[in-house]
Structure 1
Amino acid sequence: MKKNLFYYLFVVLCTATLFTSCSDDDDNGKNGDDQVTDISGKYKGSLVVSIDGSAADPVSQVISIAKSGEQTSQVVLSLKNFSFAGRLVGDIEVPCTVEEKDGVQSFSGQKDLKFTTEFGQALGTLPTSVNGTVKNGKISMKIGVTVALLGQTVDVDFDGDKMSGNESSEAKISDFVIDSDFITEQPVIDDENGTITFKVNEAATDDDLKALIPTFNISDKATVSPVSGVAQDFSSNKVVIYTVTAEDGTIKTYNASISGYIMKFSFEEWKTVGTGPAKHEEPLPSEVLASSVQGASLLGIFGWSGGFPVEKTDDAKDGEYAIKLVTLDTHEISSSFVPALTAGSLFTGTFNAGPAMSGDQLSCTRFGVEYNKKPLTLKGWYKYTPGDKYMNGTDKKNVTYPEGTDECAIQGVLYEAVDEEENSVTLTGHDINDSKYRVATAALSDGSAKADYTYFELPFTFLEGKEYDANKKYKLAIICSSSKDGDKFIGAGGSTLIIDALEVVGE
């Protein structure tokens, strides 16, 4: 949980604005001498992010320093392809002023950062300070940021050594092997796309896949995390990310996973994301499952205190937990970025909040993950309670309350993943129900109230003129919603859908 918190805060800071200046005020008494020792070059070392004094695990990082013009007292400090907690954040470039005293080169400065959330909401000013020294080729640096809105102080510490310039830049994994009776095809490494995929016995359970032990080799003088020979959890379609760092700091990541998703979701494992009013839980595996909570997690910024549309619940059919989807009546939130109705939704695919900034909420949902089987049935257990007040929030400024009772939706859609020009296809909320690339569908016909857990087994029906072709590439979208017309902002606040033991059977 700690790592997720660190990552959340650092991504908020870095993705908001990755460019800041250490030298806004050239009259701060630190202009220095044009002839200070040239400290330009690359420095490789360890970077640690701390929040209120609580530190995350250190990560390997390379920082570059380059002269700005001809003066050695003016430099640009850069972190390229900055990666934190196994995820790529981006580049940071910092213009700095350098001064020298007693053989030590120091750089320092401060800047007020301004940034916005993924909804485009301004979150104020963040006082930021940068201080560092270089002595005999060793660098020590600290970046401090005060996040008043979240009540946090973020410190970034870096210590490293100057590199010679002759270090190897190769960062590769080779000879990836998993010795297990459950493996039917050994891993295949795709260096171009950074993937490692393998096949397992269809009868393998989640417990069987929780402790597979990959062994592999990496480029000479490179390092890798996690290391070879350590058991990894590949259950529930999890993706294990291997980060290889070359001798010169070049970083390459590989996503290792089972080829062809085994579509079984028990909802037993969740991750905590965010902090403060945005703190929430998301179902795993996050590489396969997405939900409306990823967009609604920051509703608190707009004054919302009515909970989240996706939650973990102990009202389970099997195991300890199930997933609860709840429709939120958000029409009283004045911001144009927030729709009148926020349905609880779960789907295979990804969520991208960017389009919401222009009012296009339907493009935020990118449905489907690659699937290389012929789907037969979509099955599982559910219970459903519709909300009391049915509403039409299509026009947020003129919300109406027509006659009607809310219904839930559970469906599966198999569609072609490549178009006629060999371009990748991803369906969104705009076309998931009518795209010409759809091949087969499975849908719950009765979305009415169910007080007790009810079993469903929905056959996939191929659309007219369509059939499964093993030579084609497909994506499979599973979509569940607490309001079947939630994509049109029609439904009832409080409608609650609970789902457990969701599974797709394919051949």
Structure 2
Amino acid sequence: MIKKCSLLALFLTSILLTSCIQEEELDTNADIIEAYIPPQYLKTDPIITNNSIEFRVKSNIDLKNQAPIFIISPNATIDPVNGTLRDYSTTQTAVVTAQDKRWKKIYTISFNIDELSTSYSFNQAELTDKDRYYRFYSIGSNGDKIYDWASGNSGYVTVAGDKTPGEYPTTVDKGRDGGYAAKMQTVYTSSFAAATGNPIAAGNLFLGSFKTNIFNTLKSTKFGLPYSGELPKSVRTYYKYKAGKEVRDQDFKPIPGAVDTFDIYAIIFESQAKENYLYGDHDFKDPRNVAIARVSKADRLETSNWREINFPFKLVEGKKYDPSKEYVLAIVMSSSIDGAYFTGAIGSTLIVDKVELIYN
């Protein structure tokens, strides 16, 4: 009797274990998490978005014979396999397939040897991440798309629900000459995000990259791209702005008497081997900073017509600029000046048509 009961228990246990194994869900992640090439060729860390990888590289690299290595989601596979030698004089693609085999993601992979542009019009934009939101690009010397500008849109996806592209914090609007302009608007996130101290999302646009950091959102934004040449005299741009009615703090409580405003600034800072960017919490105090240009309080005016502003670069005290050295340039725009700290007025809207560096 004991023997029969033991066999029955063993049989039932094996069925239960088999059932649990069969019901275990397979991984559905299909992401490229990190990307590597020999560091001597890189100008800055690879720029990784939801569906693209961009290597900003020095001109001495052999683009026709490169074999990047990618760190991908656990249990996923990549085609072609890591280390495959390919011709990156034009954009290539790679397909990451999740463990469950149903979920796939196509990444475009590009190598960019162009120097950073000194003028951007925002006329070129495309829908991305399953047509959820817009991102801006320019065309490189080899015809590839270059994604110099990033925003927090890819982080907003997690709370956006069924929002249309025009309802995202950063989207498009009509430019001065009939093309596109960059539109940044401060929006409500969600009741869940508000409960965790993130009630609003200010529209932003910046040179650099964005990668969501759920533990510290200010570490999600990485400002700056490699820059070399003369020190610019100033930054010139054309904008429209309308402030929202009521400024609220990160607890979504009204701040009596507060009036929202926008921010546009540029920072040139010293280049370094790793973490060659500024985080969103830099507060203009990073010891690498060499020169800063920031629109003045007097120039942060509301206007429904296009208004030109031109604000100068000023050297940081004790710093000198050496045109022979390599630097990093960050240009940052936001519809709410304290948006990085989840403070602002819902409805604040900044529209920018063009940004350019002015030289002597």
Q: TM-score, normalised by structure 1?
A: 0.48
Q: Deviations over 1:155-183 (max 9, x none)?
A: xxxxxxxxxxxxxxxxxxxxxxxxxxxxx
Q: CA deviation at 1:114?
A: 4.5
Partner of 1:372: 228
> Does the alignment pair 1:402 with 2:315?
no
**More helix as a share of residues:** 2
Question: Which residue is 1:113 aligned to?
Answer: 26
Superposed counterparts of 1:9-408, under 5 Å: 112-115=25-28, 188-191=59-62, 224=87, 241=91, 255-258=111-114, 260-275=115-130, 279-285=132-138, 287-301=147-161, 307-314=167-174, 316-330=175-189, 332-334=191-193, 339-353=198-212, 355=213, 357-358=214-215, 360-373=216-229, 374-393=231-250, 396=251, 399-408=253-262
Deviation at 1:308, TM superposition (A): 0.4
Q: Secondary structure at the match of 1:460?
A: strand
Secondary structure at the counterpart of residue 297 of structure 1: helix
User: Who is 2:54 aligned against?
Assistant: none
Find out whether 1:493 has 2:346 as its counterpart: yes
Cα distance change on mapping 1:453 and 1:308 into 2, 3 Å: same
Equivalent residue, structure 2, for 1:436: 287
Unaligned runs of 5+ in 2: 1-15, 32-57, 67-84, 95-108, 139-145
Q: What residue in structure 1 maps to residue 357 of structure 2? A: 504
Contact 1:273/1:280 (8 A) holds in 2: yes
Aligned to 2:270, which of 416, 426, 432? 416
How many residue pairs align between the two structures? 274
Matched residue type, 2:236: K
Amino-acid identity (%): 26
Question: Which has a greater percent of strand?
Answer: 1
Distance in 1 (alpha carbons) for counterparts of 2:324 and 2:265: 25
Structure of higher CA gyration radius: 1
Q: CA deviation at 1:400?
A: 3.3
**Per-residue deviation at 1:26?**
11
Q: Give CA deviations for 1:200-250 in whole Å, capped at 9, x if unaligned.
A: xxxxxxxxxxxxxxxxxxxxxx86477xxxxxxxxxxxxx53579xxxxxx
2:193, 2:199 within 8 Å by CA — same for their partners in 1? no
Task: Give the CA deviation at 1:287.
Answer: 2.9
- Does residue 317 of structure 2 align to residue 458 of structure 1? no
Aligned residues of 1:225 and 1:243 also touching (Cα < 8 A)? no
Q: Give the conservation status (yes or no) of the 8 Å contact 1:224–1:243.
A: no
Alpha-carbon separation, structure 2, partners of 1:263 and 1:189: 22
SS in 2 for 1:375: coil
Which amino acid is 1:318 matched to?
Answer: D
Q: Structure with the greater relative contact order (CA < 8 A, sep ≥ 6): 1 or 2?
A: 2
Residue 274 of structure 1 and its aligned partner are, at CA, apart by 2.2
Change (3 A) 1:490 1:114: same
335 and 490 in structure 1: CA distance in 2 versus 1, 3 angstrom threshold: closer
Rate the CA distance shift 1:255–1:110 in 2: closer, same or farther, 3 A: farther
1:110 CA drift (Å) = 10
Once residues 224 and 256 of structure 2 are traced to their aligned partners in structure 1, the CA distance between those partners, rounded to angstroms, is 33
Q: TM-score, normalised by structure 2?
A: 0.67
Q: Which amino acid is 1:345 matched to?
A: N
